[in-house]
Amino acid sequence: PAPFDWKDPLGASNLYTEDELAIAETAESYCQERMLPRVLEAYRNEDYDKKILEEMGELGLLGATIQGYDCAGVSSVASGLITRAVERVDSGYRSGMSVQSSLVMGGIEEHGTEEQKQKFLPGMARGKILGCFGLTEPNHGSDPGSMESVAKPHPTKKGYYSLSGAKTWITNSPISDVFLVWAKLQETGKIRGFLVERDQCPPGTLETPALKNKNGLRASITGMIMMDGVPVAESMMFPEVEGLRGPFSCLNSARYGIAWGTIGALEDCIARAREYALERKQFKGNPIAKYQLVQKKLSDAVTDAAYGILAAYQVGRLKDEGKAAPEMISMIKRQNCDRALINARHLQEIFGGNAVSDEYHIGRHVANLFVTQTYEGQSDIHSLILGRAITGVQAFC
């Protein structure tokens, strides 16, 4: 019989193309050699090194599925493998990348004018222009359709809108050059996407304070977008897409990435817990890996990681064939986030008191995975999206 590999229990690597394997190897080497050594200090000090996005840009990892505009044009599976490698180090680093690549570059690619694409995508692919995605508001998180941000005709500048409102919990906002902001057009009441450039905002119209003292995702930077009459040229509005379809189509790609990424974080927890269990001895010099309850925790985690990767792989292939329903993405986002979090919490127990020390990394993953379960649609919200698709009955209102 073929040997069993606990790192790839169901042989997923047999499904990837040569190109995908090479891309995964490039991403893995960069993440392990260049990112991992920085993560502890970054997490302790809540300090996001934005040079990371530039380094990723040099390797062609940003907006990687986009064709043209200096992007790599790789498959959705390859982009999933990149995301998994990054989140194996830290969900916060994956978060910074997801926002840049899937939410902002992906949004511009799908809905932007040719002028908007030429203006932003090449610089964003190199990590020279940083972006963020403003959907959530202080009073409207799971229900963004009720947002209060509004775009009115500008009172003095012809051909401009004036944007007002507040967005909160926005990854990358304090360091962003361009803001993809979703707001309701006053004339129609419909949600539209606007590209706001920091350097075009007159003083006092745009503030982006950081939200500090987070107890998860500390290696990423999060903030608000406070807009008070920000002038935006009509040419910086997405020309056609209106309603929630705009932001949700961007979220489809980002949620797909999270499904791969969270399994990367879980795989790191598995490798660290296995190594610890083999080294740590209790009761007559036995490694704790010998005890059945410890083995069960590892078996559960390895099984969920293997299933999670195969499901994400399948949706990735369907995505490239144009056959991925948004509900499939809700299913893998919910399942992989939930299973990664639950298993990471169980694996954390293997470390005993040492789990409390950040040098063992497991506590950081557990705190991060709570956030991944919450953003881009909290898991219960994805249950309701699936429930609606299964029953045909709407649960939200």
92 binds, among ligand TGC, ligand FAD, none (CB under 5 to 8 A by kind): none
**Residues with Cβ within 8 Å of residue 207, at least 6 apart in sequence:** 224, 226
Chain positions 315 to 374 lying near ligand FAD, rule: CB under 6 A, are 371, 374
Residue in 171, 252, 330, 373 binding ligand FAD, rule: CB under 6 A: 171
Task: State yes or no: residue 179 binds ligand FAD (CB under 6 A).
Answer: no
Task: State yes or no: residue 168 binds ligand TGC (CB under 6 A).
Answer: no
- Tell me, what amino acid is at 394? Q
User: What are the structure tokens assigned to 48, written together?
Assistant: 């996001």
Partnered with residue 320 across adjacent β-strands are none
Task: State yes or no: residue 245 binds ligand TGC (CB under 6 A).
Answer: yes
Chain positions 98 to 127 lying near ligand TGC, rule: CB under 6 A, are 98-99
CA-based nearest residue to 69, from 106, 103, 94:
106
Nearer to ligand FAD (CB atom), residue 76 or residue 220: 220
Applying CB under 6 A, the span of 27-35, 49-57, 164-172, 303-311 interacting with ligand FAD comes to 164-172
Nearer to ligand TGC (CB atom), residue 136 or residue 373: 136
Q: Give me the 313-332 binding string for ligand TGC, x by CB under 6 A, dash otherwise.
A: -------------x------
187 among known catalytic residues: no
Residue in 34, 70, 110, 248 binding ligand TGC, rule: CB under 6 A: 248
Task: State yes or no: residue 385 binds ligand TGC (CB under 6 A).
Answer: yes
252 binds, among ligand TGC, ligand FAD, none (CB under 5 to 8 A by kind): ligand TGC
Task: State yes or no: residue 136 binds ligand FAD (CB under 6 A).
Answer: yes
Rounded distance, CA 236 to CA 134, Å?
15
Region of 291 please: left (phi>0), alpha (psi -120 to 50) or beta: beta
> Shortest Cβ distance from residue 37 to ligand FAD (Å)?
23
41 binds, among ligand FAD, ligand TGC, none (CB under 5 to 8 A by kind): none
Task: State yes or no: residue 99 binds ligand FAD (CB under 6 A).
Answer: yes
Q: Give me the 50-89 binding string for ligand TGC, x by CB under 6 A, dash otherwise.
A: ----------------------------------------
Task: State yes or no: residue 170 binds ligand FAD (CB under 6 A).
Answer: yes
> Shortest Cβ distance from residue 269 to ligand FAD (Å)?
20
371 binds, among ligand FAD, ligand TGC, none (CB under 5 to 8 A by kind): ligand FAD
How far, in Å, are 39, 73, 78, 101 from residue 65 at the CA level? 26, 4, 8, 9
Catalytic residues: 376
Residues that bind ligand FAD (CB under 6 A): 99, 132-136, 141-142, 169-171, 217, 222, 371, 374-376, 378, 380-381, 384, 396
Residues that bind ligand TGC (CB under 6 A): 95, 98-99, 133, 135-136, 142-145, 171, 243-245, 248-249, 251-252, 326, 375-377, 381, 385, 396
